[in-house]
Amino acid sequence: MAWGNFSRVTEFILLGLSDTRELQLLFFILFLLAYAMVLMGNLLIIVTVRTDPQLSSPMYFLLCHLSFIDICYTSVTAPRVLVALLSGHKAIAFEGCMAQLFFLHFVGSSEMFLLTVMAFDRYTAICRPLHYTAIMARGACWALVAACWVGGFIHSIVQTLLVLQLPFCGPNVIHSYFCDVLPVVQLACANTALTEWLMASNSGLISLGCFLVLVASYALILAKVRAHLSQGHWKALSTCASHVMVVTLLFVPVIFTYLRPAGTLPSNKYVCVIYTTFSPMMNPLIYTLRSSEVKESMWRLWKR
């Protein structure tokens, strides 16, 4: 497919978060610190889980994959934002914009599916403990992780194709710091009402559906814990509390952003910072602070 046949626009201009130089430097420092925390925190979790045989349960297997996804997810936007804030270069090629859009939704939707799988893992461990090892066997875990990536790819390719079929012949200024479907579609030289509804149905309903499944699973876990107040169940509930924090940080701003057509409400680029940067940064802190096993394994790794 030749992109040039569909568009006379060869590049887009990303306005970023601010035009003030002092604020740009402040945002550069904040993004740099956040990106460094994402890389170091999630890499530390991956190394800890991979090197400690005591962290071989399905929960930590899935946590390791979540950390890898968080690194990929933040790396889609953060490096380019840092370069733009430091150099002032805000242009992005059309092909680069489409690639960023594709990988953002590919990795982002894969993370949503993986968080849903992690909720299913906790539900199985608490509500069906006798069948847990059979249901969450290593082969089943690999199959579930693969299904998350496949689902993310299907979602993303649909979103990208919906954007590529639009003509772009006029304005090329994107009121955001990265390429996403909603601000890009608003620049199309055509009636995009149907496309906007299709995108809202795709991204919005996927995020809302995953969120409702997560809420339902944690509600069932809470009911089970209240009926059996044992130490092991309270420990599992503590683990679920960290999952709920991750879910809230990711899903609430995503649902707010995508579960509506592009023109109904103005997009808020500061809301996007929550699920593109802040949520992946908080994941390592939440999981390590709420898990004594991970903290003990990190301490043993440090002593070695």
Tens of pLDDT along the chain (304 residues) come to 444 444 478 889 998 887 788 888 898 999 999 999 999 989 988 988 888 888 888 988 998 999 999 999 999 999 999 998 888 788 999 999 999 999 999 999 999 999 999 889 988 988 888 888 889 998 999 999 999 999 999 999 999 998 998 888 878 888 888 998 888 888 888 888 888 888 877 888 888 889 998 888 888 887 777 766 555 555 556 666 767 777 888 888 888 888 766 555 555 678 888 888 888 888 777 777 666 777 777 777 777 6
The tokens 């339902």 sit on which residue?
216
Beta bridge pairs of residue 12: 92
Domain boundaries, the chain: 11-297
pLDDT in the model for residue 234: 59
Structure confidence at residue 5 (pLDDT): 45
3-state secondary structure of 187: coil
Q: Length of the chain, please?
A: 304
CA dihedral over 227, 228, 231, 233, signed as positive or negative: negative
| 173-174 β-sheet, strand order | 91-93, 11-14, 173-174
Three-state SS at 168: strand
Check residue 228 and give its pLDDT. 62
Say which CATH topology domain 11-297 has: Rhopdopsin 7-helix transmembrane proteins (1.20.1070)
pLDDT score of 232: 53
Sign of CA pseudo-dihedral 175, 177, 181, 184 = positive
Q: What share of the chain is helix, strand, coil (3-state, %, to 5)?
A: 80, 5, 20
Q: What are the residue ranges of helices labelled H in 88-204?
A: 94-127, 132-135, 138-164, 181-185, 193-199
| CA 190 to centroid of chain Cα atoms | 30
